[in-house]
Amino acid sequence: MAGILDSVNQRTQLVGQNRLELLLFRLNGSQRYGINVFKVKEVLQCPPLTALPKLNPVIRGVAHIRGQTISVIDLSSATGGRPIEDVTKCFIIISEYNRSVQGFLVGSVERIVNMNWEDILPPPKGAGKFNYLTAVTEVEKELVSILDVEKILDEISPVDTTVSKEIVEEAAANVQIDKKVLVVDDSSVARNQVKRAVTSLGVEALLCQDGREALELLTTMAKDGPITDQIALVISDIEMPEMDGYTLTAEVRSHPDLKGLHIILHTSLSGVFNQAMVNKVGANAFIAKFNPDELAAAVRQSL
């Protein structure tokens, strides 16, 4: 696993092509799961874990890795399954979500597969609103589930979504607008976080769960008049089934009726490549999730 991320530089070429690479893994059973390689910092055999008092039950302990103390989350337990038993035979996936680094304890790690976002589909409607999936796909005729990590992390350590009083008051005095903000995110938790930040400024939010749905909505709205008279701003996640945020941005920029829209990419993806990616597809800004004041300030500035 030491060399599993050696070709990350080459993976930036996937940007704007509606493609991604998934690292496949399993938890307790035979079900396969996937995580975007861009969110993975390292994969390693589970090191000795230190138990601390009053930890959330799904956190198996902390690991000391390269001078950093990292919480290790049992993904099976966090999603309602039975805890992984023998951690000495397991792996941890070191990842970076929402400005923090954490380890995910998994039963086994398989390989990386190159996928098209069009083949990544929303969870079945029968899965219910309490499932932990943002998407599903098929690899070698086997179902692969993509977990809603933001929901898992929010249940373990809820994010404060309150915009500071100063920003709200300043917006009330300076933002007078009847346009809407379009929020695009496949995670219901993330959509509602952004919605609360936007509406606290007195601006109405429209919600879409993936890039394709957002593009269809925007093109339909553009038939009724200039889109910039209706939509003040688009805030889009990057990782989404069917059409990712990079491709959505590129499609908007190439569409004569939509190209004037202001677009902020708002994502748990982080790292040194993001600004180059943002510039490549023509987004106006990139903000890492989730800081309500930073997001609200960016919304207020664009308005």
In-domain check, residue 160:
no
Question: Average pLDDT, stretch 15-37?
Answer: 85
Do 13 and 149 belong together in one domain?
yes
* CA distance to 59, 112, 119, 293, per residue, from 30 (Å): 22, 17, 21, 42
Do 34 and 122 belong together in one domain?
yes
* CA distance to 154, 166, 216, per residue, from 264 (Å): 22, 22, 18
Do 195 and 111 belong together in one domain?
no
Using the Cα atoms of residue 245, residue 248, residue 254 and residue 256 in order, give the sign of their dihedral: negative
H-assigned helices in the chain: 8-11, 75-78, 149-156, 165-174, 188-199, 211-222, 245-254, 274-281, 292-302
Do 228 and 140 belong together in one domain?
no
**Of the residues 155, 177, 199, the one at which a domain ends:** 155
Confidence check: pLDDT of 9 > 50: no
pLDDT above 70 covers what percent of the chain? 88
Do 199 and 122 belong together in one domain?
no
First vs last C-alpha separation in the chain: 46
Which residue type, as a one-letter code, is found at position 261? L
CATH number (domain holding residue 250): 3.40.50.2300
Q: Which residues have C-beta within 8 Å of that of residue 299, sequence separation ≥ 6?
A: 181, 197, 198, 201, 203, 233, 235, 264
Q: 59-65 and 91-97 as β-strands: parallel, antiparallel, unpaired?
A: unpaired
Q: Which of 113-117, 123-127, 179-183, 242-246 has the lowest mean pLDDT?
A: 123-127
Of the candidates 88, 91, 112, the residue with the CA atom closest to the CA atom of residue 44: 91
The string of pLDDT tens digits covering residues 260-274 is 999 999 877 655 456
Confidence check: pLDDT of 226 > 50: yes
Do 12 and 151 belong together in one domain?
yes
Phi, psi of 244 (to 5 degrees): -80, 175
Do 274 and 249 belong together in one domain?
yes
**Of the residues 155, 189, 205, the one at which a domain ends:** 155
Q: Tell me how far apart the alpha carbons of residues 2 and 44 are, in angstroms, rounded to a whole number.
A: 7
In-domain check, residue 206:
yes
Question: Average pLDDT, stretch 46-69?
Answer: 89
Binning pLDDT at 50, 70 and 90, where does residue 36 land?
A: confident
Binning pLDDT at 50, 70 and 90, where does residue 11 land?
A: very low
Q: How many separate domains does the chain show?
A: 2
Cβ-in-10-Å burial (0-12, 13-18, 19+) of 126 comes to exposed
Do 35 and 135 belong together in one domain?
yes
Q: Which residues have C-beta within 8 Å of that of residue 156, sequence separation ≥ 6?
A: 56, 58, 59, 73, 78
Binning pLDDT at 50, 70 and 90, where does residue 4 land?
A: very low
198, 235 contact by CB (below 8 A):
yes
The string of pLDDT tens digits covering residues 90-147 is 999 998 887 788 999 999 999 999 988 889 988 877 665 557 888 999 998 999 999 8
CATH number (domain holding residue 128): 2.40.50.180
Do 176 and 146 belong together in one domain?
no
Domain span at residue 144 reads 8-155
